[in-house]
Structure 1
Amino acid sequence: MIYRYVCLLVVVLLTTNYSQIKAQDSIAVYVQQALKNNPKIRADFAAYEASMQRVVPAGSLPDPELGFSFYLKSMEQVNGKEIGTLSLMQMFPWFGTLKAAKSEMSWMAKASYEKFRESSFEVIYNIQSQWYKLNSIQAQLANIRENIKLLKSLEEIALYKYKSPGGKGRASGSSSYSSVSSTTVQVSSGTPLSTGGGMAGMGGTSSVSSPSSSAMTANQSGSMASSMSSSSMSSGSGGMSDVLRIQIERAELENSLETTQSQFTAAVAAFNALLGRPYASTVSVPDTLLQKPFIANDAAAWEAVVTQNPMLAMWKAESASYEAKGEMAKKMGYPMIGIGLEYMINVKKPEDMNSMNNMNGMDMIMPMVKFTLPIYRKKYKAQVKDSKLMKQSAELQYQNTQNELEASFVAINLRIADASRKIALYEKQRQLTETTFQLMLREFAASSVSLTDVLQVQRELLNYSLKQVDSVVEYNTAVAEFEKIIAKDDLITTNK
């Protein structure tokens, strides 16, 4: 029942947070699938259900003892011949022992429940984090395709300038043009021209997880652009070399497109693994990634962490369970009391002078009381000490977890603020660069600027666009992690 509450809660929560755009609806559906199918969540929920089944046996009396004995040869007694006995005995632990045992198992079940909650929030965070990574990679793919189209347009402009009257290539004759055209075909056929990848050379964002490799590739691309710039200056601008350089840039981007597509496929497989479904299943990713709503209130938020975080609640429950276990161990050192009855079965014997006629053949009932003698005290003292030490360990674990959460709380808030500033900065830089790029395109068409300058501004525009998307991803991921540690809008505790 609680598991269904959890699924409904998370779906309603995420749908509420994401009701304004299509992406939010799809992520809510994916979260619902994960809560139903993720093996980790299902395993922890099964463990919680198992711990709940231990509560009732822990608070129950031990089973009564029923005994039967008979004589192979009847025993002669004054009241007849005894042929057998029936006995029934019920043991009772010392007062409060069963209550303490039940309390211990109840707190252990509570700890298992909090572990299940922690697993649920962890999976939800992982799903959102992977989802934002998919958005980032898809944005990279869109930018690469857009810039390939842009380079094709630049190539057409460069070819037009080359063929126009007064172009640098006209004086060299048709044979020269034919020779260069054959070189152009060879470059466009997919021959590797750079070992770094186009995206890394145009802003350092071809790889999501390898900034050092991106920086190296950016240096290589910069060196290549510098050498081409000097070559262009030596032979004059506006020649066929511009066309070749554009085709080199386009070949790099096409190679980067394939690399980024492979990264997207791997990210989809990881996302499907969280949902507990086949790795090749289709994932619907929106074209636009928006910032998650977030309102900072450090004092109230930290109070919510202390009162609602599942890990803190788990250590509290474990501490209480060890306290109850110590109380039970203490009471187990007291005697157990047994109350029972013994029923003696007799048959009549022949009457004689010694028989008592009024009792001959009468069955007998005998009440019994029994006590255990817990005289071996060391084992009980050891159990009590064990419980105290484990309680102390749980309290220290609670303090350590709280310290770690506090450090994470501060770091996450700083990450959110930093990402928010970056988003605003890159948006402003992207708009200014886009305006500059449009102006330079007109100037390039009028032969006022060189192709090197146009490509440099184009790289900057791509760089700022991708940096802005990455900042939104970083922002949303940090907000998702914040919601995980704060157990935001968690109503599970009201359904226990």
Structure 2
Amino acid sequence: MRYAITIFLIIWIGANTFAQVNNPELKVYINIAENNNPELKAMDLKYQQALEKVPQVKSLPDPTFSAGVFIQPIETRVGAQKAKLSVSQMFPWFGTLGAKEQQASLQAHAIYLRYLDARSKLQMNVTTSWLDIVLTDQKIFFTQKRIEVLDLLEKQSLKRYESDQTDMVNVLYIQMLKEELISKLELFKDKRNTQKTGFNKLLNRDLSTDVNTPEDNSFLLISSIANKDIEFTKHYRVASWDQMVESAQYGEKASKLNALPKFGVGLDYAILSKRTDMNVADNGQDAIMPMLSVSIPIFRKKYKAAIKVNEFKQQEYEELKTAEMNQLELELQQALELYKIGIRNTDLYQNLIAKAKQSYEILSSSYESSTKRYEEVLNMQQKIWIYEQKQIEAQIQVQKSLAHFKYLEADSYGATTKNLDNK
């Protein structure tokens, strides 16, 4: 028995001594998600729509053209007026179009910042989903190794039982442990299939596509936080509301300018026929008449209401900005808590693994003299596996918190409105 357990320890230690290799899988998956994720594509299209609104709002109203023919020509001194052509163009008050353009541009920039936030959040979600699969693969690995060792121990125990060197209860005990682990292994495999489906949905690819995880888990040891004091005033989620507040300010300005008179210029062209009964100066000469029009904004309620709406929008966006700041601060605290717990548990299980291995050596050396020691040896061996698995769970927890920190550190510095094809 001791020989079998010693063989297992050699296998187990060798299996967990990984070579240093590059692990580009996660970066590749993030790139695939950024290119394929439907929600991110929808945000891209929403931004493109917002950009197309800018030339719409900054354009002048369409000019109007009219033509009329007199059924009964109107006689004038220089001839009968047969037809009339008119063209006119209205102009809003000075600065109105500029204010509307700024309003639409700021709204588009706010959507662009939300797009950047969605992309950053997608990176975090892909990372955490991938880490969940890494953890499940580690659990499958440990469980398979435990089953292999219990198979070996079961064979050894049966031989010892046949030679009356041990009790049948020891054989049954090993079989019970093995059956329990086989059930757990199937559960882990089912869980991985579900996780794989969710991960592939993030990448918007075939759900049956396999997900690769690294055999080298040394990346789990990288656990330092660059900055715990994060300033959220430039975070995408906050900066987008700043853009919306400024947009509402320009909307208020545009509403005030809309309440001022609008001017129009035009030209009337009258077609005249020559008089045949007499010859007068300018006989039959067509008439051209420049026109000037002014709209008089008498009904003020609609203009006042439009101004008030934009004032309310500014207050609304300020409140939403405050709520976003509060939520980000809460997420920071949660990520920090997750990080601290992961670090503490990593250190805890590192210490427990060392003590469990030491206890295992002591128990295995005195195993031959006691049946009770036999169960203690198995239990201690189980503890080593469990602690090793718990340590990896803690390391995964740390990596998830670091992914969240990376998302929270994203800010809008240098994020200018631009076409997303060039992002």
> What TM-score, normalized to structure 1?
0.76
Instruction: Report the CA distance shift for 1:495/1:80 in structure 2 as closer, same or farther (over 3 A).
Output: closer
Deviations 1:432-478 (CA, angstroms, capped at 9, x unpaired): 31343244334335657522201221221122111111101111111
CA contact (8 A) 1:139 1:287 kept: no
Alignment partner, residue 337 of structure 1: 263
- CA-to-aligned-CA distance 1:26-61 (integer Å, 9 cap, x gap): 111111111111110011110001000000111111
Q: Which residue of the partner structure matches residue 11 of structure 1? A: none
Residue 22 of structure 1: aligned partner: 22
Shift of 1:293: 4.9
Matches within 5 A, 1:320-469: 320-352=246-278, 355-356=279-280, 358-445=281-368, 447=370, 450-469=373-392
Aligned to 1:34: 33
Shift of 1:378: 0.6
Once residues 306 and 162 of structure 1 are traced to their aligned partners in structure 2, the CA distance between those partners, rounded to angstroms, is 72
Which sits farther off after the overlay, 258-267 or 406-415? Answer: 406-415
- Answering whether residue 205 of structure 2 is matched by residue 283 of structure 1, we say no
Cα distance in 1 between the residues matched to 2:352 and 2:413: 42
| Seq. identity, % | 27
Number of the residue aligned with 2:245: 319
**1:306 is aligned to 2:233:** yes
Question: Is 2:50–2:107's contact at 8 Å kept on the other side of the alignment?
Answer: yes
| Matched pairs, number | 397
Query: Partners in 2 of 1:104 and 1:325 — Cα distance?
Result: 6
Match of 2:227 among 297, 306, 323: 297
Equivalent residue for 1:249?
177
Q: Which amino acid aligns with 2:192?
A: F
Which of 399, 408, 415 is residue 493 of structure 1 equivalent to?
415
Q: Which residue in 1 is equivalent to 2:134?
A: 135
Does the CA-based 8 Å contact 1:440-1:449 persist in structure 2?
no
Residues 192-221 of structure 1 deviation map (CA, whole Å, 9 limit, x = unaligned): xxxxxxxxxxxxxxxxxxxxxxxxxxxxxx
Give the CA deviation at 1:73: 3.1
2:262 and 2:175 mapped to 1: Cα distance? 91
Bigger drift between 383-392 and 71-80 goes to 71-80
Cα 1:406–1:69 change in 2 (3 A) is same
Contact persistence 2:100–2:251 (CA under 8 A): yes
Larger CA deviation: 339-348 vs 375-384: 339-348
Counterpart in 2 of 1:226? Answer: none
TM-superposition CA deviations, 1:343-364 (whole Å, max 9, x none):
1111212042xx52x2101111
- Aligned amino acid, residue 295 of structure 1: I
Deviation at residue 153 of structure 1 after TM alignment:
2.7
CA drift of 1:111 comes to 1.3
Specify every segment of 5 or more residues in structure 1 that has no aligned partner in the other structure, as ranges.
Answer: 1-19, 169-237
Cα distance in 2 for partners of 1:418, 1:38 equals 32
Q: Report the counterpart of residue 98 of structure 1 in structure 2.
A: 97
Partner of 1:268: 196
1:109-124, aligned counterparts within 5 Å?
A: 109-124=108-123
Give 1:175's aligned residue.
none
Kept after mapping to 1: 8 A contact 2:225/2:402: no
Partner of 2:149: 150
Q: Deviations over 1:244-270 (max 9, x none)?
A: 110111111111111111001110000
Q: Distance in 2 between matches of 1:149 and 1:446?
A: 26
SS at match of 2:366: helix
Partners of 2:74 and 2:227 in 1: how far apart?
Answer: 87
Q: Deviations over 1:325-375 (max 9, x none)?
A: 1111111101100011111111212042xx52x210111111100011111
Would the alpha carbon gap of residues 437 and 141 (structure 1) be closer, same or farther in structure 2, given more than 3 Å must change? same
Is the Cα–Cα contact under 8 Å of residues 107 and 243 in structure 2 kept in the other structure?
yes
Q: What's the offset of the Cα at 1:288?
A: 3.5
Deviating beyond 4 angstroms after TM superposition, the runs of 4 or more aligned structure 1 residues are 445-449
Match of 1:173 in 2: none
Mapped contact 1:268–1:283 kept (Cα < 8 A): yes
